[in-house]
Structure 1
Amino acid sequence: MAKQSPSYHFAPGDTVSAAGKHSQPYPWEQRKLGDLGSVQMNKRIFKDQTSESGEVPFFKIGTFGKKPDSFISKKLFDEYKSKYPYPEVGDILISASGSIGRTVVYEGEDAYFQDSNIVWLEHDGRLKNSFLEQFLKRTKWNKIEGSTIKRLYNKDILNKKINLPKLKEQEKIGQLFQYLDKTITLHEEKQCQLEQLKKALLQKMFADETGYPVLRFKGFTEKWEQRKLGEIATIVGGGTPSTKNPEYWDGDINWYSPAEIGNQIYTEKSERQITELGLKKSSAKLLPVGTVLFTSRAGIGKTAILNKEACTNQGFQSIIPRSKMLNSYFLFSRTNSLKQYGETMGSGSTFVEVSGKQMSKMPLFIPNINEQSRIAKLFQSLDKTITLHDKKIQYLKQLKRGLLQKMFV
Structure 2
Amino acid sequence: MSTQITTPINRSSAEALSKNKQEPEWLTALRAEAAEAAETLEWPKPEKMRIDRWELGALGQYKQNDAISSSDQLPESVRGLVPAEASANLLVQRNSSVVLKQLAAELQSKGVIFTDLETAARDHAELVQKYLFTAIRKDENKLTALHAALWNGGVFIYVPKNVEVELPLQALLFSDDAEATFAPHILLIADNHSRVTYVDHVVSAFEAETGPSIHQAMVEVFVKAGAQVQFASVHHMADSVIDMTIRRAVVENDGRMEWVIGDLHDGNILSDTLTILNGSGSTSDAKVISIGGASQKMSLTTQAVHVGRSTESTMVTRAVMKDQATAIINGITKIEKGATKANGEQTEKVLMLSPKARGDANPILLIDEDDVKAGHAASVGQVNAEQIYYLMSRGISKQDAERLIIHGFLAPVVSEIPIESVREQLQKLLERKLGS
User: For the superposition of Structure 1 and Structure 2, which TM-score range results when normalised by the shorter chain?
Assistant: under 0.3
Q: Which has the higher strand share?
A: 2
Larger radius of gyration: 1
Structure 2-normalised TM-score?
0.20
Structure 1-normalised TM-score?
0.20
